[in-house]
Amino acid sequence: MSLPPLDPLATPRLTLRAVGEADLPDLLKVNGDEQVTAYLPYATWAGLEDGAAWLARMRAQEAEGTTRQLVIALGAAGPVVGSVLLFRYDADSARAELGYVLGRAHWGQGLMHEALRHLCAHAFGSLGLRRLEAEVNPDNRASSALLERLGFQREGLLRQRWTRKGRTYDTHLYGLLRDEWRGE
């Protein structure tokens, strides 16, 4: 069974909706910033070609039914300032992994917390997921704090989990169960 397509999700300040080609210039501002991508497992985008290649990969994963990529737009029709991702969906286990990125100009405003709070509520509600997971580079304290504020628990350390950007690093594994979800 595939992860169903997600209808747009509206929050007080944001809209989470499916990514489209027209979003790539805004996403280049996000993913083209080395400070933003410092802890992420992919190279900083050098141009729109990188964005087009990324979008093709996302569409292929969505076609397999294991991934849903959403952008985060300010308001109903504002600029795209980040993205959220449900991926590695496992229907039998009712679980998925969570990924996210937010443009640096929007850090510290609670926007990602707002986006993820609504996405988690939808995942545990309409999508019927039992478990969400996220991996975080231990040096990314802001991301760890965000997940903990949402109720995720750090469940372990995956030693030398990834080698990216010429460096091998550990990750913290976070998990959140539907039964633990506070819904804030």
Q: Give the C-alpha separation, 134 to 153, whole Å.
A: 10
* Cα four-point dihedral sign 169, 177, 71, 103: negative
Residues 6+ apart with CB under 8 A from 154: 144, 148, 172, 173, 174
How many residues are there in the chain? 184
Q: Where in the chain does DSSP place strands (E)?
A: 9-10, 14-18, 68-74, 80-90, 95-102, 131-136, 153-164, 167-177
Residue pair 19/109 in contact (Cβ under 8 Å)? The answer is no
pLDDT at 182 over 90: no
Tell me how crowded residue 42 is: count the other CB atoms within 10 A of its CB.
13
Which percentage of the chain shows pLDDT scores above 70?
99
The per-residue pLDDT for range 46-102, each reduced to its tens digit, is 999 999 999 999 999 999 999 999 999 999 999 999 999 999 999 999 999 999 999
Q: Using pLDDT thresholds of 50, 70 and 90, give the confidence band for residue 184.
A: low
Residue pair 108/175 in contact (Cβ under 8 Å)? The answer is no
* Cα four-point dihedral sign 13, 15, 104, 5: positive
Q: What residue ranges do the domains of the chain occupy?
A: 9-134
CATH class of 9-134: alpha beta
